[in-house]
Amino acid sequence: MDEDVAMNVRESPEELPEGSSISPLGKEDGLPCPTLLTDIERPIWVLPVIVASQFASTSLWFAGNAVLDDLTVDLGLPDGSVGFLSSSVQFGFILGTLVFALGSVADRFLPTRVFMTCAILGALANLAVIVAAKGLAGLLILRGLTGFFLAGIYPVGMKVAADWYGNVGLGGALGYLVGALVLGTAFPFLLRQIKQSWQALLIEVSVLSSVAGLTMGFICPDGPHRKASGPKFEPMAILHLF
C-alpha cells in the first residue's frame, strides 16, 4: 500500500508548486503540507487568557449557593430553597444553550465578543440579587438569567479554543478549560471562607467575571480556524436523530 501512495505522489507532480518536492514526512521542502496544516503559530499567552477568563466567569455559577445560608435569613427563604436555586441556574443554562445554538450566535458574531457580553450581563444579573431580589421568586429569576448568560461563557470559551487549535492540541486545551470550569464553580465557596458579607462576595464574583469578559473581548483575537458562519439549522434533522 505504501508503494501505491508513493506512485501516486510521483505521478502527480503538477499538484506541487514549481521547484518543490515531497519529503518522506509528507511535506514540501521547507513548507508544511497544505492538507496537513498542523504548525499554526499561536501566541503563547492565548490559552492562559482563555483558561483564566473561563475560570473567572464561571465563578458566577454557584455564587448564589455559596451564600444561601445568609440569603435564607435576609430574604426569609423557605427550607429546601437550595434545590430551587440550583435548578433555576441549570434551567437558564439549558435555555440559553438552545437559544445560542439555534441562533448560531457564536458563528454569526465574534465568539470572543459573545463571551465578553455574556460575562458582563451575567455579572449584572448576579449583582442585581443584592438590590432586586426581595424573595424566592425574584432570586430564582435572577439566578435563571445568570444561567442563561453562562451559556455564552462556558460553551463559547470552548469555541474560542477550537478556533485557535483546530484538530491539533485541541484535546489538551479543552482539558484545561474543563478544569477551569470545575475550579471556577467552586471558587465562591473558597471566598465564603473569608469573613465577609454575602453582598461583598457577590460583588467580588461579579467584578471578576466582568474583568474576565473584557480581557477575552479585547485581548484575545480570533483564531485562525474560525469559520465565518456555521451550518444552517435544519429542524427536520431532529427527527432523523430519533
Same domain, 197 and 176: yes
Tell me the pLDDT tens digit for each residue of 5-14. Answer: 444 444 444 4
For the cut 90, the answer to whether the pLDDT of residue 113 exceeds it is yes
Residue 33's nearest CA partner among 20, 19, 52 is 20
Q: Which residues contact 23 (CB under 8 A, 6 or more apart)?
A: 29
Domain-embedded: residue 17: yes
DSSP 54-66: HHHHGGGTTHHHH
Same domain, 27 and 117: no
Contact residues for 213 (Cβ-Cβ < 8 A; gap 6+): 53, 57, 115, 116, 117, 118, 119, 120, 123
Please tell me the total count of domains within the chain: 2
Q: Tell me, yes or no, whether 31 and 143 share the same domain.
A: no
Query: Which range marks the domain in which residue 166 is found?
Result: 46-241
Same domain for 29 and 78, yes or no, is no
**Which residues, other chains included, contact 141 with Cβ-Cβ below 8 Å and sequence gap of 6+?**
88
CB 78, CB 137: distance < 8 Å: no
> Can you give the pLDDT at residue 228?
63
Percent of the chain at pLDDT exceeding 70: 80
- pTM for the structure as a whole: 0.78
Whether residue 129 sits in one domain with residue 30: no
Distance of alpha carbon 37 from the chain centroid: 25
Cell output for 25 = 514526512
